């Protein structure tokens, strides 16, 4: 590809000078000519020359004024201008150079020197343009990278602020540089209080916040992460427990960073809920094992006696009856345990909600329930109007059955069990309720606060049968229905347990 010829604009009011320039420069450059300053300005705007040769002495507007107008136009001001003049003396040359001329050539023109100066100027201008081009390209790259970094920084700041976990970053001198809001919320240590602290002081503060049995190791955090740590390796976790709030449990790890500005990141994850769930599971299993051990021990004991000894028919039958009774008790415990497990794991996802008549549900539960011999069936007080709720039929029948069973078991001395419908209006919402009342043992205020706990039983004598799971299941089912359970009880007089659900207006 041939090299592009540079475009030179010559502005001179003397045609002979222009012809001389044309003859001298025409072979190497594309020469454009103009005979006045005004014509030269118009042509410069049109062709955008690479260089302008400008005569100083011209009528109308002279070369200096023409130059000033060229310099005033943003599109033209960067074009190098060489003054041509017949004037002698340093003063005229000084004026032109002071205005910003690239060079000054005196007449008569030496063609060879003029050609060389023009070539030098054009080469220098080409280099200047290349530098400007590279500068502009670099500035654009910097602008884009800065924008990307800013976006990334804002994204990281958002993650930092919104993360449910706590973070603390340390600078290259292992001093606290950034503190996430969640870290302050979890520990009570504000960003203002710990920013600038070194890692030893921060770990010391964390250790002081912990209970003795689960204290954060107060040593140097770098002890937790060897210098040669593989950045892809799974981090080691330490579990700590804070004094305040009581029971808050955190998993802590420290990661080393290869960044020049971040040396370490301290990471806190709140595992209080997981720890409590694990504790409850362990307690649940322990209590389940305890509750099952008693009837199974009885079954094992009586079967061993029956296998090793001979009894008359009446005693043999009596012992088999006890074994059967205890086996039924084990089955009841297992069934209720399975109910709780299903409720916990499915969270009501298997419930089939539909518009139902509360009276029909109660009738279904009462018809299926058989009181112990000698006990009268529950007395049901009719509602003033039909009450409809949205519920899972099978689960609500189970709720009513559990309440009936509980009322009969905890009134061993007899007395009527009464069921009564109720209505209430709370914050513009109509509620339908069912109260089951007995005349039995009753409960103390402390027992009322604990009666919905798993395996909790008001009777500690062992004379009242049951698993201690019935009311717990009632509470779980009602919670998943968006309902509520209320209890009123007086020790020695009896208890009333009420369940409530929003009224369903669907037909």
Report the alpha-carbon angle 115-120-122, nearest 5: 95
244 alpha carbon, distance to own chain's centre: 24
- The rounded distance, in Å, linking the Cα atoms of 215 and 499 is 45
Catalogue the E-assigned strands of 73-221.
81-85, 103-106, 166-170, 176-179
- The rounded distance, in Å, linking the Cα atoms of 368 and 377 is 11
Structural domain boundaries in the chain: 7-134, 163-270, 275-346, 353-502
At residue 90, the pLDDT reads 66
In three-state secondary structure terms, 389 is strand
Domain 353-502 bears CATH identifier 3.30.565.10: yes
Tell me if 7-134 shares its fold with 275-346.
no
- The rounded distance, in Å, linking the Cα atoms of 276 and 284 is 12
CA nearest neighbour of 408 among 342, 332, 275, 497: 497
Q: Quick one: CA dihedral 351, 354, 359, 361, positive or negative?
A: negative
Q: What is the pLDDT along the chain (507 residues), one digit of tens a residue?
A: 456 788 888 898 887 777 777 777 777 788 888 999 999 999 999 999 988 988 888 888 888 999 999 999 999 988 999 888 876 656 667 787 788 888 888 777 777 777 888 888 888 888 888 888 899 999 999 999 988 888 887 887 787 778 889 999 999 899 999 999 999 999 999 999 999 999 889 988 999 999 988 888 754 444 444 444 444 555 688 899 998 888 799 999 988 888 888 888 999 999 998 888 788 777 777 767 766 777 788 888 888 888 888 888 888 888 888 888 788 778 877 777 777 777 666 666 778 899 999 999 999 999 988 888 888 899 999 998 999 999 999 889 989 998 998 898 888 777 889 999 999 998 888 999 999 999 888 899 998 988 888 777 776 565 666 667 788 889 988 998 999 999 999 998 899 999 999 998 876
CATH architecture group of domain 163-270: 2-Layer Sandwich (3.30)
Q: What is the DSSP string of 40-60?
A: HHHHHHHH--SEEEEES--SS
Cα–Cα distances (Å) from 387 to 156, 395, 500, in that order, read 55, 18, 12
Cis geometry, peptide bond prior to residue 205 (ω within 30 degrees of 0): no
Count of residues making up the chain: 507
226-235's contacts with Cβ under 8 Å and 24+ in sequence apart are: 227/256, 229/256, 231/255, 231/256, 231/258, 235/267
In three-state secondary structure terms, 107 is coil
At residue 228, the pLDDT reads 45
Query: Among all chains, which residue has been given the structure tokens 């007086």?
Result: 490
CATH architecture group of domain 275-346: Orthogonal Bundle (1.10)
CA nearest neighbour of 426 among 353, 505, 483, 507: 483
- The rounded distance, in Å, linking the Cα atoms of 224 and 205 is 17
Q: What angle separates helix 470-480 from helix 393-409, to the nearest 10 degrees? A: 150
CATH architecture group of domain 7-134: 3-Layer(aba) Sandwich (3.40)
- The rounded distance, in Å, linking the Cα atoms of 9 and 236 is 76
In three-state secondary structure terms, 211 is coil
Q: How many CA atoms lie within 13 A of 360 on its CB side?
A: 12
- The rounded distance, in Å, linking the Cα atoms of 275 and 305 is 45
At residue 87, the pLDDT reads 64
Asked if residue 451 lies in contact with residue 487, where contact means CB atoms within 8 angstroms, the answer is yes
- The rounded distance, in Å, linking the Cα atoms of 466 and 371 is 14
- The rounded distance, in Å, linking the Cα atoms of 368 and 376 is 14
With b for 16 or more beta-carbon neighbours within 10 A and e for fewer, the 72-101 pattern comes to: eeeebeebbbbbbbeeeeeebbebbeebeb
Residue 218's CB: how many other CB atoms inside 10 A?
A: 14
Query: Among all chains, which residue has been given the structure tokens 């292992």?
Result: 174
149 alpha carbon, distance to own chain's centre: 21
CA nearest neighbour of 54 among 23, 90, 112, 95: 95
Which H helix or E strand runs over 396? helix 393-409
Query: Among all chains, which residue has been given the structure tokens 């020695």?
Result: 492
pTM: 0.48
473 alpha carbon, distance to own chain's centre: 34
- The rounded distance, in Å, linking the Cα atoms of 400 and 436 is 9
Asked if residue 200 lies in contact with residue 216, where contact means CB atoms within 8 angstroms, the answer is no
Cα–Cα distances (Å) from 323 to 185, 197, 328, 408, 462, in that order, read 57, 69, 9, 23, 17
């Amino acid at each position: 590809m041939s090299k592009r010829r540079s475009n030179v604009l010559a502005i001179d009011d003397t045609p002979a000078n222009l012809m001389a320039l044309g003859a001298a420069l025409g072979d190497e450059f594309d020469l454009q000519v103009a005979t006045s300053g005004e014509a030269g300005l118009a042509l410069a705007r049109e062709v955008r020359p690479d260089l302008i040769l400008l005569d100083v002495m011209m009528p109308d507007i002279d070369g200096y004024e023409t130059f000033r107008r060229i310099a005033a136009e943003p599109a033209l001001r960067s074009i190098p201008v060489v003054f041509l003049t017949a004037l002698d003396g340093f003063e005229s040359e000084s004026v032109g150079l002071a205005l910003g001329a690239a060079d000054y050539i005196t007449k008569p023109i030496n063609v060879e020197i003029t050609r060389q100066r023009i070539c030098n100027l054009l080469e220098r201008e080409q280099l200047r343009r290349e530098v400007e081009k590279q500068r502009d390209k670099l500035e654009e790259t910097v602008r884009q990278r800065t924008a990307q970094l800013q976006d990334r920084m804002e994204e990281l700041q958002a993650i930092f602020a919104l993360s449910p976990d706590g973070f603390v970053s340390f600078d290259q001198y292992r001093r606290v540089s950034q503190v996430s809001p969640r870290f302050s919320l979890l520990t009570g240590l504000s960003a203002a209080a710990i920013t600038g602290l070194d890692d030893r002081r921060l770990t010391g503060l964390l250790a002081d916040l912990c209970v003795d049995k689960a204290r954060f190791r107060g040593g140097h955090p770098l002890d937790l992460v060897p210098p040669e740590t593989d950045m892809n390796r799974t981090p080691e976790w330490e579990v700590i427990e804070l004094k305040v709030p009581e029971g808050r449990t955190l998993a802590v790890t420290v990661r080393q960073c290869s960044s020049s500005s971040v040396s370490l990141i301290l990471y806190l994850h709140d595992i209080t809920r997981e720890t409590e769930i694990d504790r409850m599971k362990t307690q649940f299993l322990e209590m389940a094992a305890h509750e099952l051990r008693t009837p199974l021990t009885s079954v094992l004991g009586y079967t061993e006696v029956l296998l090793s000894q001979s009894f008359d028919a009446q005693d043999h039958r009596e012992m088999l009856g006890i074994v059967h009774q205890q086996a039924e008790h084990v089955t009841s415990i297992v069934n209720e345990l399975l109910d709780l497990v299903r409720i916990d794991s499915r969270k009501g996802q298997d419930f089939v909600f539909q518009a139902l008549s509360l009276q029909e549900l109660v009738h279904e539960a009462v018809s299926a329930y058989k009181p112990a011999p000698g006990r009268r069936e529950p007395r049901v007080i009719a509602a003033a109007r039909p009450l409809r709720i949205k519920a899972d039929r099978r689960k609500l029948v189970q709720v009513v059955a559990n309440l009936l069973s509980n009322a009969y078991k905890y009134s061993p001395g007899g007395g009527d069990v009464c069921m009564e419908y109720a209505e209430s209006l709370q914050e513009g919402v109509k509620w339908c309720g069912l109260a089951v009342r007995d005349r039995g043992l009753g409960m103390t205020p402390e027992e009322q606060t604990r009666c919905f706990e798993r395996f909790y039983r008001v009777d500690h004598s062992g004379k009242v049968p049951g698993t201690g799971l019935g009311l717990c299941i009632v509470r779980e089912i009602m919670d998943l229905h968006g309902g509520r359970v209320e209890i009123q009880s007086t020790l020695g007089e009896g208890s009333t347990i009420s369940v409530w659900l929003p009224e369903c207006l669907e037909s």
